Each structure stands twice: as structure tokens, then as C-alpha cells.
A = this chain, B = another copy of it.
Amino acid sequence: MKPRPRSGDRGTSSHILDIAEGLVQSRGFNGFSYADIAAALAISKPALYYHFPSKAELGVALIRRYEQRFFDALSAIGDRDAPARLERYASLYAGVLREGRMCLCGMLAAEYSTLSEPMQQSVIHFSDRNEEWLSGVLTQGQRERTLAFAGTPRERAHMIISCLEGAMLVARLYGDVDMFQTTASSLLAGLSTSAG
């Protein structure tokens, strides 16, 4: 019997994921341990194992929740013209960076070869879905004639995601969010037509 969490109390599992998420995004999956989470929550290490029986399973749960929230945020962008959706899309990344964090998926991409197979699959799944969503926006832009670019929407989506990830990686190195904004803006500016 799982007790239903009271409103405002999302339960211990949720709090564990909150802490773990921040640790992965700032230090990487190989850069923290259960002891770090336990300390942050003032709880014992074995208590964590009740909720997540292994670090790898915690990792999978982490990606799944992040994915859920990320695509909820994309849905919340709503119906706008493509350039406006792109701008909101980029601002999601900027928000993460402003907290001194790397994109979860980008961080795990760096550590990819050290991850368990289920975690690797989860990273790929997230990445594929992200590219698919962005590709849809680019296709919309072509249809609307608000966006113009060489190559397929898929290729362009891949390029934009790659550049945003890289821009986060490097901007975080210098603790300079403005650097990211400059790169993101000039990346997207090149796509807009005068019709937009």
C-alpha cells in the first residue's frame, strides 16, 4: 500500500530525484554518490535504496521524470508561429543554465559510455523525441514561410540541438549566461525569413 502523498508533499522519492537531478546536472552521474543525496536530505543511505534499489535505476527514473517535465514544458509553449516557438525553446535551455546546470541529457551524453544499458537507451529516447519535436517546429516554419534553411528539418533540428548543448557546455565553463544567449540568438536569427 503506497500512502497517497498529501498535496504539497510529493513524497520522499520525489525529493530524492530533485537532489539527484541537480547533482547530475552540475557534477555528472559519476560525480556524486548516494551519500551526497542522503546528506542533502538528512536521511540515511539505506533509506534511498528503499526507493531506488540501485544507482542505475535511480538514473533511469531521473531521465524519465526529466523527459516528462521537459516535454510538458514544450507542450506549454502552445500554438505560435515557428520563430516564437524556437525562441521559447531556446529559453528553456537558458533557464537551466542560469541555475549553473548543464542539460541533463547533454551531461549524460558526455558520460554515455560509462552508463548502464537502460540508462543509455533512456538518453537516446529523450534525444530522439527532442529532435522530433524540434523538427516539427522547423517543418511548420517552412510551411508558414517564417523559416528558411538548407537541408532537411531533421538535419537542422539536429544541428540546433547540438549547438545549444555545446553552447551550454562552454558557457557554463565561464559562468557566463550571456554568452549562451548570444550564440542561441545568432543561431536562430539565421533561420528567420523577413516574412516572420
Q: Could you tell me the distance in whole angstroms from the C-beta of A111 to the nearest C-beta in chain B?
A: 5
- A50-80 interface code vs B (CB 8 A; 1 in, 0 out): 0000000000000000000000000000000
Q: Which residue of B26, B109, B158, B169 is within 8 Å of A109 (Cβ)?
A: B169
Task: Decide yes or no whether A192 CB sits under 8 A from chain B.
Answer: no
Report the count of interface residues on A (CB-CB < 8 A).
Answer: 43
Are B158 and A162 interface neighbours, CB within 8 A? no
A107 to B166, CA, bound (A): 11
Give the B-binding residues of A (Cβ under 8 A).
26-28, 30-31, 102, 106-107, 109-114, 123-124, 127, 150-151, 155, 158-159, 161-174, 179, 182-183, 186-187, 189-190
